[in-house]
Amino acid sequence: MTVRSIGGQAWAQVGKLGNVLLVLAASCWWSLPVAHAQEIMQGTQIQELVERLNRAESSIIELGAENLRLQTQVNQSFEEMAKELETASESKSETDKSPEKKEKQGDSEKKEKEKDKKKDEKKKKKEWYEKISLRGYAQLRYNHVTDTEFGSASAQHAGDSSIEEDQEFFLRRARLIFFGDVTDHLSIYLQPDFASTPNGAVDSNQFTQIRDWYGDVYLDTTKIHRFRVGQSKIPYGFENLQSSSNRLPLDRADGFNSAAKNERDLGVFYYWTPQWAQDTFKFISDENLKGSGNYGVFGFGAYNGQGGSLREFNDELHLISRFTLPLTLSNGQIVEAGIQGYTGRYVVLGSAIRPLGVGPAVAPLHTRNRPGSVEGLLDQRLGWSMTYYPQPFGIQMEHTIGRGPELNAAQTAVERGSLHGGHITTYYRYQTPCHGELWPFARYQYYRGGYKNAANAPTAEIDEWSLGLEWQMRKEIELVTEYLITDRTNLRAASTGRSYDQFEGQILRFQFQLNF
């Protein structure tokens, strides 16, 4: 039975009720005795009867209006019931759908969600330039020669051109570093230096020069295998790989630093870094343990050989390989030991000198543009490194041997000679409650052999002690005080007088570093 049929029957019953009421009213009227009809028709009773009839008529009209109102309400109620029943029927129909239809509907909803997700991901996806970060540092130095031995050559230092006469404040480094992961398979590292002094600069300094400009190409997303392409540090020596913003002594030890001008060159290097080693290198960096960075457990590569930001002068590539092993002992102490070596041919730049201070000034043989310098001289080195990370006491040791270009004893030609050198550095990390970190350190270094990066590759004899303190007031501010006791060869070529005598003296040094 439908809702409409139920409503019709109800309305019929209401209609019957109205008819009954009308019959009863008529009966009351016609049931009056005929004998009294004549009396009623007389006098005032007629008027009373008329009024009664009027009131009966009004009651019937009111009853009809009420009947109409009730009919309207009943219709509205049944229409609402009809809507509710239809809604319930549709819901039951949806519930009774077959599993196949439900599955199709689920798949459709899933596809819609995936589309929305892809749209959101597309909106959130960053362009490569939005993934690049910027940091940098600057180093302001002041050097003061406090003592010079009698008969000593003038002050000069291979690692700091401001250690000489008439020099005061000096901007040693001013660098900005752009770095970041462009994709899962490529990261970039770009580092210009705004305080470089290139070869040949006499009256000016603070030139802008590229220090690093390379990309790391990862063979997979685990970053275990990668190729480094561009200008970067060559993997020779722990201290050479350590950033100057992170190193305690103000300059690198000569035994390893003489292996490559600016510690860098243009080439291609392969690095293998398993996951456990990646984690260890990251821990060393995060904990500020003065590490050298992630240069792999094993590395191999080829590079020009003349030095970073310098022109190449032959067709011979240098080949290099390095193996280092960072280990975490059972007590949490981290140690690292490594070995490295390279081979190649190096062209020595020449400058006119008076051999042993006698005769006219002339550039030695076998230097560039002189006989015997077409492809350069064979340059080979082998080195060992060991680091006991400061937790809180640390020690760092390195030693190198080899054969390479060296000015002969007569100072007339550059030939091949043997070389050896090394250093040992001890340091301690003290973390104060509220005044930053203090790093006292001491280092001894020595070197014997040709200094190929200097003009004419003079024989260098270096013995040097460094005592110092680094105060990291805050992460962005550091102050280093170092006292240097040195006996080293002055490597500057002089066209008058005698070249390459020993400088023996003591230097008080300060460096204020800004990190940002």
Residue 480: half-sphere exposure toward Cβ, Cα within 13 Å? 26
CA–CA gap between residue 86 and residue 283 (Å, rounded): 68
Residue 11 confidence (pLDDT) above 50:
no
User: What pLDDT, in 10s, does the model give residues 454-502?
Assistant: 999 999 999 999 999 999 999 999 999 999 999 999 999 999 999 999 9
When comparing pLDDT for 140 and 106, which is higher?
140
User: What is the model's pLDDT at position 376?
Assistant: 93
Beta bridge partners of 393: 428
Q: Is the peptide bond before 192 cis (omega within 30 degrees of 0)?
A: no
Reply yes or no on whether the pLDDT at 64 is more than 70: no
pLDDT of residue 88 exceeding 50 = yes
Q: Is 423:239 a contact under the CB 8 Å cutoff?
A: yes
Which CATH number describes the domain made up of 130-515?
2.40.160.10
- The closest of 421, 453, 40 to 256, measured between CA atoms, is 421
Q: Give 470's contacts (C-beta < 8 A, 6+ positions apart).
A: 248, 438, 439, 441, 478, 479, 480
**Global pTM?**
0.76
Task: Please give the backbone phi and psi of residue 248, each rounded to the nearest 5 degrees, phi first.
Answer: -80, -60
Task: Please state the domain extents for the chain.
Answer: 3-89, 130-515
Listing DSSP states for 483-515 in one string gives EEEEEEE-----SSS--SPEEEEEEEEEEEEEE
Residues 95, 149: Cα–Cα separation, whole Å: 102
First and final C-alpha spacing in the chain: 85
- Calculate helix-pair angle for 3-30, 43-95, nearest 10 degrees: 170
Number of helices followed by number of strands (H, E) in the chain: 7, 17
Please tell me the predicted confidence (pLDDT) of residue 374: 74
**Over 80: is that where the pLDDT of 198 sits?**
yes
Q: How sure is the predictor about 103, in pLDDT bands with cuts at 50, 70 and 90?
A: low
Structure tokens at 393: 């006491």
Across 212-240, b (16+ Cβ under 10 Å) vs e yields bbbbbebeeeebbebebbbbbbbbbbbbb
Cα–Cα dist 461/454, whole Å: 14
From the list 14, 18, 112, 134, the residue with the least C-alpha distance to 71 is: 14
Query: In the predicted model, what is the mean pLDDT of the chain?
Result: 87
The pLDDT confidence band at residue 63, using thresholds 50, 70 and 90, is low
Region 306-313: mean pLDDT is 92
The band of 188, judged by pLDDT with boundaries at 50, 70 and 90, is very high
Sheet strands (E) in 119-224? 133-148, 169-183, 186-196, 207-218
420 close to 365: Cβ distance less than 8 angstroms? no
The secondary structure element, H or E, covering residue 404 is strand 393-407
Higher pLDDT, 81 or 406: 406
- For 13, residues 6+ apart whose C-beta sits below 8 A from its C-beta are none
Are the beta carbons of 30 and 37 closer than 8 angstroms? Answer: no
